[in-house]
Structure 1
Amino acid sequence: MKNKIILLVGASLIFSCQEKEKVKEIGYEMDTIEKIETSYDNVSKDSLLFEDDILTSKTDFIIQGDGVVNINISQELTIYNNDDSLFGKIMFSEESESYVLEMPKVINARYFVPMLDQFYFDANNPNTDDSNLYIYINSEVKKVKKSTVDFNFVTWENYLKSNFITLRKMQNNDQLDKYIYQVLNVEKDSISIKSIAKEECDAVELYKDVSKKIRWKDNDLLLINFYECN
C-alpha cells in the first residue's frame, strides 16, 4: 500500500459583507446578493497544505481555467512548460511504493499531495485541444500530453458541488464561522449552502442548521476554502 498521511485542513473562517443600505449579520440573505466594492489586496492568495524536506505544497486561492482536473499517475507524469521545455516529472516507484518528484520544491496547485495520491490542478477544458491538457501550476500554464495520462475533468460548478467548503475570514472585523457546508446550487458568483452534521463529516466539531446564499469568489479570488474531511 502506498504511504499515506492524514492531512487536516485547519479551521476555516467566514466571509461577511455589507450591503449598500444595511449590514447583514452573516453573509448575504438568500435573495439580496449584491457585489461589494472591497479591496482584498492584503488577503492571502494561497495556503499551506503539506511540507517536508522535498516538497512544499500550497493550495491556490486564485482560481484559473474552466475547472479542475484530477490526474491519476500509475507510472509517470511528464509536465511541460508552454514553450515545450520540461517543467518536471512525477514517477511512481514500485520498489519504495511512493512517488519520486523531479519538480520545483514549492508547488502551488488546487490540491497536490503525493503522499495521499492527490493530484488536482486548475485546468482549461480538455475539449479545447486534441493533444494537450493545459493545467495551472505556480500560476502558470503547463502542458501534459493527453495520450499519456488518465484524467478526470470537472467544471467549477461541479467541483463546488462535489466538495465540502468553509468560509474564509476576508477582513479583520469579519465574524468567525466554524461551520462546514455543502454546496446545493451554483449561480455564477454565488452559491446556496447548507451546514453539515458530524454524520456527514467526522471533522465537524460545531453544528447548527444554517442555510444561506453567499458569494464564493470575487473575480478570480476564492472567498471559500475547499475542505477535506479525511
Structure 2
Amino acid sequence: MNRPAIPDQDALRRVGASVRARLADDPKVYTVPTDIAELFAVGDFLTQAECRRLISMIDQVAQPSKLYEGEYGEDFRTSYSGNLDRTDPFVRGIARRIDDLLGVDGETGEAIQGQRYLPGQQFKPHNDWFYPDQDYWPMERKNGGQRAWTAMAFLNEVEAGGATHFTEIGINIEPRPGVLLVWNNALPDGAPNEGTMHAGTPVEKGVKYVITRWYRTRRWG
C-alpha cells in the first residue's frame, strides 16, 4: 500500500542534513543526548544587554497570543506575544546571527517573535510544525511551506516555573538568560517528528521572556 506523500519532505531532509552538519562542526554548540529528536543548545548566545533590549521591545508589541481558530482549547496558549520589527537594525543583527549559526538563508526565517509569560500563563504541549490535514495548511504552504527548524532564546531568569518541557524526550530546560535552543522539527528522512512535542510550563512566580525564530523550507511570506 502506498503511503500518502509528506509535503516538503525532500526539502526538510536536505535542510536537516545541512544544518545538522553545520551544528556538529561548531564547538560552541552542545548536543542534547537523545535519540528522539535533534536538540541543541548554545550558552551565552545573547549578551545581558541584548536580552534587556529585547525584553523592552517585547513589552512594546506584546498582545494576547493567538492560535488557529478551533485548533486548541481556550487555555492552551495564554501568554502574550508579538513580532519584532524585522527592519530594525538591532533585530536584523540578531536574526542574522541565528541564520549564520544554522547556515540557512535568512529569507526562509519568519519574523522573530517575542513572548512574555506572566504568573499562571503557559503554552501546553505542542509541535511547531504544521499539520497538513488542517484548514490552515494551504495558506501556510504558499507562505513558505513547512517549518524545518526552531531557534528559541531565553532572555531572563524566572523566579519559579516557566521551564521548556520536551514531553517525549522527558527533559525540562530551565530559563537561563542568553541561552539559545535549536531543534529540527523533522526526522532525518524529512517526516515530521512527533518527538519535538514541547510545552512552556506555567510560570509560578516572576515573568518569563523568550524570542523564537522559525525557519521554513522556502522563502517566508
TM-score (norm 2): 0.27
Bigger Rg, structure 1 or 2: 1
> Where is the helix percentage greater, Structure 1 or Structure 2?
2
**Greater relative CO, 1 or 2 (CA 8 Å, sep 6+):** 2
> Where is the strand percentage greater, Structure 1 or Structure 2?
1
TM-score (norm 1): 0.26
